[in-house]
Amino acid sequence: MIALGRVILLVLLIALWAAIAARMPQGLFASPMQTLAAAKVMLGEGRLYSAILASLRVYLTGTGLAAVLGIALGAAMGMAPLFGRIIDIFVYALAATPRVAFIPLIIVLLGLGIEAKVFIVFLGAVMPIILNTYTGVRGADRDLIEMARATGAGQGRIFAHVILPGAAPFLMTGLRIGATIGLINTVVAELYTAVSGLGGLLATYGASFRMAEYFVVVMTLSLIGVLVTEVLRHLENRLTRWTSAGSAKPSP
């Protein structure tokens, strides 16, 4: 039912897109068929493949580092309340500052290469992961923790069987938000540093008003976003089942 509803909505959106294109001046707004034709040309020439690979390299590296370090720091802040209270104000301050403001400094320190791009993506993705993990771990059920300790469970088991199941929804929300911001920051990084990848194609085709090619890049970014969201949704379902099974019977 959900799949059918999505297909119907997609068909309606494509029809609306075609109707808008038919009423716009020629060359100002590409139609779905023109976009599809441009995609075939770009794929045949290899331009789109190379841009996707370049962007994915930056995106997955930056977001992966953000996931590992963000979860670790957020969990440490939640598990050690004093440590969390000391640094949370700095994390919130950094999260509230537009990441674009750091780009000139990042370029000065790291140059225009892939290191700068990865760090821009990391900086955008890591904040929601830290804050959501911190919130989830800090909100763990204290009664369950005390019950687990009373049975002789160690800190590792308490984290795996009590704290992690409760924090899992917050953690996955942070990962989804971080992944979305990371994709946005990938394009921003490619625009502000050495122009390359999908961000570079956006700049090139947007500046020359080649709207069919421009829409191909936009659709590609949307498709990547959908794929990442679905992967994380699947992971969340698996993690929820695992944590539910793990928390059903805490063992010493």
**Which DSSP string do the residues of 15-77 spell out, in sequence order?**
HHHHHHHHHSPTTTS--HHHHHHHHHHHHHHTHHHHHHHHHHHHHHHHHHHHHHHHHHHHHHH
170-194: average pLDDT: 86
User: Is the pLDDT assigned to residue 252 strictly greater than 70?
Assistant: no
What per-residue confidence (pLDDT) applies to 68?
Answer: 93
What per-residue confidence (pLDDT) applies to 243?
Answer: 52
Q: Are 117 and 172 in contact (CB under 8 A)?
A: no
User: Is the pLDDT assigned to residue 161 strictly greater than 70?
Assistant: no
CA 59 to each of CA 39, 112, 199: distance values in angstroms, whole numbers, following the listed order: 22, 16, 12
User: Is the pLDDT assigned to residue 247 strictly greater than 50?
Assistant: no
Task: Lowest mean pLDDT of 23-27, 30-34, 161-165, 199-203, name the range.
Answer: 161-165
Residues near 106 by Cβ (< 8 Å), separated by ≥ 6? 116, 119, 120, 123
pLDDT digits (tens, 9 = 90+) for 97-140: 877 788 888 888 887 788 888 999 999 899 999 999 988 888 77
176-184: average pLDDT: 90
Q: Are 190 and 197 in contact (CB under 8 A)?
A: yes
CA 25 to each of CA 14, 18, 52, 204: distance values in angstroms, whole numbers, following the listed order: 19, 13, 30, 21
CATH code given to domain 50-248: 1.10.3720.10
User: Is the pLDDT assigned to residue 17 strictly greater than 50?
Assistant: yes
C-alpha angle 233-236-237 in degrees, rounded to nearest 5: 90
Q: State the Cα–Cα distance between residues 135 and 146, nearest whole angstrom.
A: 19
What per-residue confidence (pLDDT) applies to 155?
Answer: 66
- What predicted TM-score, i.e. pTM, was given to this entire model? 0.80
What per-residue confidence (pLDDT) applies to 207?
Answer: 77
163-192: average pLDDT: 85
User: Is the pLDDT assigned to residue 244 strictly greater than 60?
Assistant: no
Mean confidence (pLDDT) of the chain: 82
Q: Are 65 and 119 in contact (CB under 8 A)?
A: no
pLDDT digits (tens, 9 = 90+) for 137-160: 887 767 676 676 666 666 666 676
User: Is the pLDDT assigned to residue 226 strictly greater than 60?
Assistant: yes
User: Is the pLDDT assigned to residue 249 strictly greater than 50?
Assistant: no
